[in-house]
Structure 1
Amino acid sequence: MNQIAKATNTTGVIYKEDIDYMIEKIEKLAKEIWQIHSLLLNRNK
């Protein structure tokens, strides 16, 4: 994400493919965080 932000600040351009890629990775990371969160909650029961 930082590399895309840096390139955008330098060129003033951001590509839809870059945005789509970031959304995909953020959604994947959010799912992984939710899974870890659920595991930790179940562990404490």
Structure 2
Amino acid sequence: MFGLIEIVPLLFVGLILKLLVDSGQPPAPAPDPEAAFKKALAEYLAK
């Protein structure tokens, strides 16, 4: 069973990939969500 901390980053990555495919170009970098994702990823890997 996945916890919320594991699902949210996956949804975020899926959304970014969808936006990339739809627009055909990389979106402008967003430091805050990226930092939040890296923090969540680090917490997940620390388990």
The TM-score with structure 1 as length reference comes to 0.47
The TM-score with structure 2 as length reference comes to 0.46
The structure richer in helix per residue is 1
**Larger RCO: Structure 1 or Structure 2 (Cα < 8 Å, ≥ 6 residues apart)?**
2
